[in-house]
Amino acid sequence: MSSTGEHHEPPTKIRVVADDREPADAVIAALSAMPEVQLSTARLEVGDYVIDDHFVFERKTLLDFAGSIVDGRLFRQAWALANLGEPLRGALILEGTGSDLERSNMRREAIQGALITLSLFFGLPILRARDGEESARLMIYAARQGRAFAHGALPRPGRRPKGKRKTQLAILQSLPGIGAQRASTLLDKFGSIEAIMAASQQALETIPSIGTRTAKAIRWAVSETPASYQQTRLRKKGLNG
């Protein structure tokens, strides 16, 4: 009970339903360890996880992503995610790093073609995660953002920050571990987004409040070692990007 006599209800837990065919791996372990999460399992017709009765996530390792292009699963799943209907929104989480695709025997053009189809033609958001634990965090962060949006804490769709600096700050805040204050500090120090993206981990670590962990996360987000995709013919006609 507050001093004004108002009673504040504790925030409700974030509801997560995992498909009962999902392996008990790092994602399930991470979700189970989060006190704000209410985790249950059920047989899901679409996707691997339903978050807060609003977001439906299909989670794929990059190796499975490549395999699903070849056997045709990917586009069937994408169609189902894109046609869920309100209030559900579908999204895809790709888990791993570019080097994971080296074992897939998949041409780079095929991967790029699939990503173009998913994002531009199916209209599906594609999120990237390094591992299962980060996949879990992404889903819960989406739930928090969804709740904040519902209460007017986020900009309305279609609105853009006015002025170049505001635009730059908004872009920087999409980096891991970067909030409004850190974004402003980085921009003041380096002068431009281009300079920040090109900065080494050591240079980023010299900024107050940017430690080794955050600097390393920024470098991971903005750089990727090119994978040596092998030139092999796809077995599935029409899926060669």
| SS3 of 177-190 | CCCHHHHHHHHHHH
Q: Residue 47's Cα: distance from chain center in Å? A: 15
- Distance, CA of 206 to CA of 164 (rounded, Å): 25
- Is the separation of the CB atoms in 169 and 180 below 8 Å? yes
Cα dihedral sign, 154-15-77-134: positive
- Which contiguous run of DSSP H or E holds residue 60? strand 55-61
On whether both 85 and 196 belong to a single domain, the answer is no
Burial (Cβ within 10 Å: 0-12, 13-18, ≥19) of residue 191: exposed
On whether both 29 and 143 belong to a single domain, the answer is yes
Least confident among 104-118, 142-156, 191-205: 142-156
On whether both 70 and 187 belong to a single domain, the answer is no
On whether both 37 and 121 belong to a single domain, the answer is yes
The domain total for the chain is 2
227 domain-assigned = no
User: Please, what is the end-to-end C-alpha distance for the chain in angstroms?
Assistant: 60
100 domain-assigned = yes
On whether both 91 and 41 belong to a single domain, the answer is yes
The two most distant CA atoms of the chain are separated, in Å, by 70
- Is the separation of the CB atoms in 210 and 178 below 8 Å? no
Q: Residue 129's Cα: distance from chain center in Å? A: 6
On whether both 172 and 216 belong to a single domain, the answer is yes
Among left, alpha and beta (phi > 0; psi -120 to 50; other), residue 121 is alpha
On whether both 101 and 128 belong to a single domain, the answer is yes
158 domain-assigned = no
pLDDT at 134 > cutoff 90: yes
Residue 11: what pLDDT?
A: 61
67 domain-assigned = yes
Q: Residue 41's Cα: distance from chain center in Å? A: 22
Q: What is the pLDDT of residues 6-40, one digit of tens each?
A: 444 456 889 999 999 988 889 999 999 999 999 99
pLDDT at 91 > cutoff 50: yes
Last residue of a domain, one of 116, 150, 184: 150
Residues facing 39 on adjacent strands = 16
- Distance, CA of 92 to CA of 56 (rounded, Å): 9
- Residue 193's domain spans which residues? 164-222
- Is the separation of the CB atoms in 96 and 70 below 8 Å? no
155 domain-assigned = no
- Is the separation of the CB atoms in 58 and 81 below 8 Å? yes
6 domain-assigned = no
CATH of the domain at 210: 1.10.150.20
Residue 151: what pLDDT?
A: 59
On whether both 76 and 33 belong to a single domain, the answer is yes
pLDDT at 112 > cutoff 60: yes
Residue 153: what pLDDT?
A: 45
pLDDT at 228 > cutoff 50: no
CATH of the domain at 131: 3.40.50.10130
User: 3-class DSSP state for residue 116?
Assistant: helix
pLDDT at 231 > cutoff 50: no
Q: Side chain identity at 33, as an amino acid letter?
A: A
pLDDT at 84 > cutoff 70: yes
- Which of 46-50, 95-99, 189-193, 234-238 tops mean pLDDT? 46-50
